[in-house]
Amino acid sequence: MKKLYSLFATVLLLMAILTGCSSTDTSKESSSKQTTELTVSAAASLQDALVELQKTYEKEHTDVKLQFNFGGSGALQQQISQGAPVDLFFSAAEDKFDALVDSKVIAKENGVDLLSNELVLVVPKNNEKKINSFNNLNKASKIALGTPEAVPAGQYGLETLKAMKLWNKLESKVVYAKDVRQVLTYAETGNVDAGIVYKTDALTSDKTKIVATAKNDTHTPIIYPVGVIKESKHFKEAEAFYDFLQTDASMKVFEKYGFKGAK
């Protein structure tokens, strides 16, 4: 009887050991498949294209989750400079991006000028003020513009109005917005008579229409650089997404939304 009890105890011990090993292996396997969350700070004008690309990327990389922080490039640059936990920065202006390169937050070799855009004048669909060009913006009571210090589209718009010698006459009519999407919303809702936005944003709206395109020689070239933050805690995964954004397939998606290649 004692031998029987001893044998029974031995079997239980072996089962416990095997169960423990199995649990450990399962735990290790589960741990190895943990999802990596990448934070991408990107210009508001990139929202539609990046959300579409997100679906493709996450389907192909099930262990990666993309978290986007959309806004004005200047505001995003300030957040990153102040230590916000970001893995990639996709800017709508070279100077905002270059500021992070100069301060060693982004290594020059981990950044690239990827896209370009155009600046357009939009009006509400009904266009009650009959505005059809930059030159007759004097008809407007209110004009929406991104805050130039924080919103590249606003800076480009300011440059254009100054180059056309319109700024002094129109400055008092300007309503400032936090990003280019808010400018578009103001125009869509009729809160302003006109707004200056990127062509890519204008193409997403069926409540406004484009009445003019700014000439390239009236503003700084509209270039979108993207790069990996040097101190990213997920540098390898961030670099993989950075490479994905430069593929032909990704570029076709950007082009669908009105962007062009920077080169």
Look up residue 35 and give its DSSP letter.
P
Q: Tell me whether residue 11 is annotated as binding.
A: no
Q: Tell me whether residue 180 is annotated as binding.
A: yes
Nearby residues of 87 by Cβ (< 8 Å), 6 or more positions away: 38, 39, 40, 228, 229, 232, 233, 234, 235, 237, 238
Strand partners, 123: 209
Q: Tell me whether residue 153 is annotated as binding.
A: yes
Q: How far apart are CA 105 and CA 103, in angstroms?
A: 6
CB 199, CB 59: distance < 8 Å: no
- Phi, psi at residue 135, to the nearest 5°? -70, -20
Q: How far apart are CA 53 and CA 96, in angstroms?
A: 24
Which residue from 85, 79, 77, 83 is spatially nearest to 102, judged by alpha carbons?
Answer: 77
Q: Detail the residues annotated as belonging to a binding site.
A: 45, 73, 153, 180, 198
- List the binding residues for molybdate: 45, 73, 153, 180, 198
